[in-house]
Amino acid sequence: MIKCIVWDLDQTLWRGTLGEDEQVLLPEENRALLEHLDASGILQSIASRNDPDAAMEQLRKLGIDHYFLYPQLGFHSKALSIQTIAQKLNIGLDTIAFLDDNEFELREIGYFLPQVARYHAWSDRNSLMEAVGQGGTGTAESRNRRVFMQAQEKRDQEELKFSGTREEFLKDCDMRLTIREAREDDLARVCELVERSSQYKTFSQTVDPDFCRRYRASTQSKLWVAELEDRFGQYGIIGVCFLRSGDGNVWIDQFCISCRVGGRGIGVVFLQTVLDQCQGMGNPCFKAVCCFTPTKRNRPVVILLRTLGFRKSQSQDGQGGLEVALPVAHVACDWITIIVDKG
C-alpha cells in the first residue's frame, strides 16, 4: 500500500529547472494530481537537489507548499532524503513511491532502497495511478490525513524546543482520549485503520464492514474505538479494539493504534480501559488472551502488551498468543485525560 509520494521538483513536479530557466511552470495535470492525492489521504513530500530557500519560495508562489510534509531540499543524497521522510512520517520504506524524471536517480534509489516503488515522472503516470488507487476510503481521517500530520509536525517541533522533561511535555499537550463503542459511520475508518496499521497491530488479518457489523451485533463481543485530540488539533479515530468474552476469558481479536500516536502511552491507556470495561460486559473475566501474529514491524505492540503484563500464551498451539490475568496492572499515564463515552 502506498502511503506517501515523494516528488522530485525540476522537470518532475514542475517543467523547467529552478535557477537555470527563467521560470518554471506547474503543469495542470500535476496540480490536479496533487489535489487528488491529498483528498485521497496519500501523503506527499519532496526529495530534490535544490537550494532550499529558492525551492520553498517557488512552491509558495505556485500555491502548493502546504501539500508537502517534511520536504527534503538540499544537495544531499535522495536515498538519505527518502529515509528521513520515512522516519519523520513513521512509515515503512515499502509504503513510499518516488517520482523522478531522471533515470539515474531512479536507479540509485532502486539500488540503495529497493523497497521504495519508483516511477518515471511522465512515462509511468498510469502505473502510479493504478498503484495509488482511484480514491481514498472517503473517511474524515483519510481526507484530513495531511492536516493531522502537519499538527504532528508542529507538535514535534515544539517538543524539540521544550525545556522540561518528556512527561512534562506530554502533560502540556493536553491530550484527551475518548473511548467508545464503534458506530455504523465509524466502520469505514475501523477497516482502514486495521489495514493501514503495521507497528501497533496485534493480528494481521484485515476486516470488512460486514464483519464489523456482525461483531457489533453479537452479545458476546464489542468493537471499541479511541479518538484523540490535543492542543494541536484533532486526530480522529486512532485506535480500534475487537473484544470478545466467553468462558471467563476476554479475547482480543484485534487491537491496533495509528503509528502516528505511538510512544505516548495512548495504546496502553486504551487497552487497559477497554479491558476494564469488559468486566462490566456480563460474565466475570479472569484472563485476557490476545491473538497475535508476529511480523517484522509489529515489535512496538509486543512491547506495549508487555507493559500491561502480557506473557506468551500457553494455550495456543502453533499460532502465537499473549495473555494476562485480569484485572491488568494499572499504568500511570496522568498526561492523558480518558473519557469513556457510554453513548
Partner 1 sequence: MERRELEQQILHVVHQVLHREVEPQTRLLDSGQLVDSLNIVKLVCEIEERFCVSFDDDLELDYLDDVKSLVEAVWSKLNE
Question: Which residues contribute to the site for partner 1 (CB under 8 A)?
Answer: 166, 199, 262-263, 265, 267-268, 292, 294, 296, 299-300, 302-304, 306-309, 311-312, 320, 322, 329-333
- Judged by beta carbon, residue 72 or residue 298, the one nearer partner 1 is 298
Say what the alpha-carbon torsion angle 337, 148, 3, 79 is, to the nearest 10 degrees. -100
- Judged by beta carbon, residue 19 or residue 294, the one nearer partner 1 is 294
β-partners of residue 99 are 7, 119
Q: How far is the CB of 294 from partner 1 (least distance, A)?
A: 7
- Judged by beta carbon, residue 61 or residue 299, the one nearer partner 1 is 299
> How is residue 1 annotated by DSSP?
-
- Judged by beta carbon, residue 144 or residue 199, the one nearer partner 1 is 199
Q: What's the gap between Cα 203 and its chain centre? A: 16
Q: How far is the CB of 145 from partner 1 (least distance, A)?
A: 20
- Judged by beta carbon, residue 71 or residue 321, the one nearer partner 1 is 321
- Judged by beta carbon, residue 50 or residue 272, the one nearer partner 1 is 272
- Judged by beta carbon, residue 113 or residue 128, the one nearer partner 1 is 113
- Judged by beta carbon, residue 47 or residue 149, the one nearer partner 1 is 149
For 129, the grid coordinates are 495511478
Neighbour count for residue 274 (Cβ, 10 Å)? 24
Q: How far is the CB of 331 from partner 1 (least distance, A)?
A: 5
Say what the alpha-carbon torsion angle 195, 134, 115, 92 is, to the nearest 10 degrees. -40
Q: How far is the CB of 222 from partner 1 (least distance, A)?
A: 25
For 168, the grid coordinates are 512534562
Cα gap 13→121, rounded to integer Å: 8
Q: How far is the CB of 90 from partner 1 (least distance, A)?
A: 9
Helices (H), 45-186: 52-61, 78-89, 103-112, 125-132, 140-143, 145-161, 166-172
Q: How far is the CB of 338 from partner 1 (least distance, A)?
A: 14
Cα three-residue angle 313-279-190, rounded to 5 degrees: 75
Q: What's the gap between Cα 340 and its chain centre? A: 23
- For residue 2, which of 142, 110, 123, 96 has the smallest C-alpha distance? 96
Give the three-class secondary structure for 120.
strand
Q: How far is the CB of 249 from partner 1 (least distance, A)?
A: 19
Contact of 44 with 15, CB cutoff 8 Å: no
Q: How far is the CB of 109 from partner 1 (least distance, A)?
A: 22
Q: Sheet of 175-181: strands edge to edge? A: 311-312, 321-325, 287-291, 249-257, 233-246, 221-230, 175-181, 336-341
